[in-house]
Amino acid sequence: MNHRKTLTGTLLAAALLASGCTGGGGSAKGADAEAADDPAQVSGSITVLTHRTDLVQDGTMKKYAEDFNKTYPKVKVTFDGITDYEAEVKIRMNTDNYGDVLMIPSVIQKNDYPKFFASLGTQKELSEKYRFTGFTAVDGKVYGQSPMGATPGFLYNKRIWTEAGVTEWPTTPAEFLTALKAVKAKTDAVPYYTNFAAQWPLTQWTYVNGSVSCDTEATTRLAEGNPWGEDGELRVADRLLYDIVDQGLIEKDPATTNWENSKPQLAKGEIATAWLGSWAVIQFRQAAEKAGADPDDIGFMPFPARVDGKACATANPDYNQAVSIHSGHKEAARAWVDWFTEKSGYAADNLSISTLKDAPLPEVLKPYEEQGVELIELDDTAGGKVKAIDSASEVGINGPAYRQELVDIARDAKDGDIDDFLDDLGKRWTEAAKTVGS
Amino acid sequence: MPQARTTHPSHATERAARPQAAAPRPPTPRRAPRGARLRRGLTPWLFLAVPLALLITFTYAPVANMLAYSFTDWDGVSPELHYTGTDNYVEIFTRPELFRVFLVSGYYLAASAVQIALALYFATILSFDVRFRNLFKGVLFFPYLINGVAIGFVFLYFFQDGGTLDSVLALFGHEPDRAWLGTETSANVSLAGVSVWRYLGLNFVLFLGAIQSIPGELYEAAELDGASRWHRFRYIIAPGIRPVLSLSVILSISGSLSVFEIPYIMTGGATGTETFVIQTVKLAFQFNKTGLASAAAVVLLLIILAVTWLQRRLVPDDRVDLV
């Protein structure tokens, strides 16, 4: 009996100790990571956490670091490539030790940025030169910088679409469906590939936001209105996805799709279309080369919606790089962030939109320029609130669950009615919005 | 079935720790001097120190921590957390849809029954003289040694349209045109099948060990008395392995309630295959409701404890004495 008491005591003590440990991180508030005046004077060794394990392994990152050392000879850069980036970094951020430079995990609430990251300067100043500053700005100060941007769109096989007799980009969801039907009727290709099993490709549909209305305030409307209301952007997107599945324009067995295999399949013309993002183009072209197909067959088109005859595509930042507030070498870390964004050529290597406002568009988006697609950047002031509503409502616009359910309803694997389903999402969303502060 | 391989890794650790705890004390013939007595008193604790430290650090401290989180609104990363009392528990019990996922456990429970029956069958057969019996033992136990994540990926290919299963069936002239993971029933049955394949080996080995611990003379005597194979199974083997059998049932039920890795890797909970643990993981890592998810985990732990207790009450663990 006595022994048991001691054990309980130890457990209690352990519990108290353990719970006392949380809530430690990020005490130093409002630190700045300032840019150095003289590159030769910046010194220190920094660790960069990155999700690009592929680039760490094949030595590309090391090459970037060598280039960086030409300008900043006294800084030593080490990379820490993390496969399960989101989950692992989230846990590491409970301590003070999460590298000097890291990509901001999406789980961090925007309002918490000042607790974890050093500020890179005011938005007013930085936005003159860079895109996407609004996505990490809190109270006028910027906490992260994306080295590149991308725009969502349909990757498609030009050869197949031409064989199906569709040469013009569809301008409405209805036209898009007609085009896919033509692909089904006239070719052997799968008209649209959901990548249902890989899950995250379905979350890409959320990036339709802004493309339908061509409104830079689309994110604010997401936070304040009903995204699945009559004119909600996500209703338009989800409705199109539903119709594609409902009319049998997808692969036979979505439950066992394979992301890696879908790349060569689209390149070879076994798949005609997939909704992804401009960042994916380079991967599909590489897959085409490997599979012996023509990389130039991979085309890219905007969402089928037009405002006054004009298509809009949103430019979104990739992961934002930030400087840890606990970094001992903030100057060196800042130097890396700036250099990587401006001089590394990372954006160009990935055929992406450069963060620098005056840089030219990547060659993938040349057809966009020719056809007058307007590239808009959404105002992300309400981005934090959208995330909070999303979590509170458990809808998960950035998770796969609800769209998997939608696809299941569409292919009759689950009972339900699409209108009820979308209305219910809207109801949960707007109710959660009431409980969430700004 | 999934043998409790989820929220509480405590079983394994406990089992590892116990044998040392139960080590017999050295005999004490006469009163030793004070110093020696003290040392003798300390010795078992010295041996226990390492396992106990591991047990507390990796089992009880995290559980205590989880209990603490379950009373907060922590999001898993923010430096701030607020004590919210029993709000999380109230929320869980006022949202019936959170418990609907337990229906999925029914598939795995049914599969458990199949699994135990199969394991018992194979264990009985292979405990007699059979040609290549060690090979068969290896074949049956092998799946249990493979990492669960690998199994998930292997079976994704297996169930793919035109994948292994379809081609094997085609060899027999049967060409099914169906998506194995396509509908709720077929997806759950397929996943439960994978689960049976994986955990059959463990049950099998447990049963085999128990059967082989039955003295051989009993079989000989039974054979002389003219008992058939079925009689030998019914009157010698079945009662002889009762404790192991009831342990297997307990593990199967708690495992069925906390299924996780196979459906999580293979379908991510899509198409009606979501289980309680998957739902909890989603709450914690997708919606950043670590507090609520901790409460859900505590509730699952309590449910499993309750079910186990009930089972022990209904089927008391009698001592078996065959001789």
pLDDT tens column, B62-118: 999 999 999 999 888 887 889 999 999 999 999 998 999 999 999 999 999 999 999
Q: What is the pTM of this model?
A: 0.82
Residue of B265, B256, B266 lying closest to B300 (CA atoms): B256
Q: Write the pLDDT tens digit of every residue in A185-242.
A: 999 999 999 999 888 899 999 999 999 999 999 999 999 999 999 889 999 999 999 9
CA distance B275 to A164: 43
- B202 neighbors B144 (Cβ within 8 angstroms): yes
Of A363, A365, A345, A364, nearest in space to A355 by CA = A345
Residue B103 burial by Cβ neighbours in a 10 Å radius (0-12, 13-18, 19+):
exposed
φ/ψ of residue B110, rounded to 5: -60, -45
Name the residue in chain B with its Cα closest to that of A413.
B183
Picking from A14, A23, A24, the nearest residue to B64 by CB comes out as A14
Judged by a CB distance cut-off of 8 A, whether residue A22 touches chain B is: yes
Query: Does residue B54 belong to the interface with chain A, where contact is any CB pair within 8 Å?
Result: no
DSSP A387-398: HHHHHHHT--TT
| B234-266 b/e (C-beta count within 10 Å ≥ 16 → b) | eebbeebbbebbbebbbbbbbbbbbbbbbbbbb
How much of chain A, in percent, has pLDDT values that exceed 70? 93
Q: How far apart are CA A58 and CA A64, in angstroms?
A: 12
ipTM for this model: 0.78
The Cα-based distances of A44 to A69, A321, A334, A340, B252 in angstroms read: 12, 19, 12, 17, 56
With CA atoms as reference, report the closest residue to A198 among A120, A276, A264.
A276
Using CA atoms, how far apart are residues A399 and A304, in angstroms rounded to an integer?
23
For B162-215, the pLDDT digits (tens) are 888 888 888 888 777 778 888 899 999 999 999 999 999 999 999 999 998 888
Q: Give the mutation candidate from A17, A22, A271, A415 for the B interface (greatest B CB count, under 10 A).
A: A22
How many CB atoms are closer than 10 A to CB A70? Answer: 9
CA distance A222 to chain B (A): 18
Partner residues linked to A358 by β-bridges: none
How far A220 CA lies from chain B's nearest CA (Å)?
20
User: Do A255 and B67 make contact, defined as CB atoms within 8 angstroms?
Assistant: no
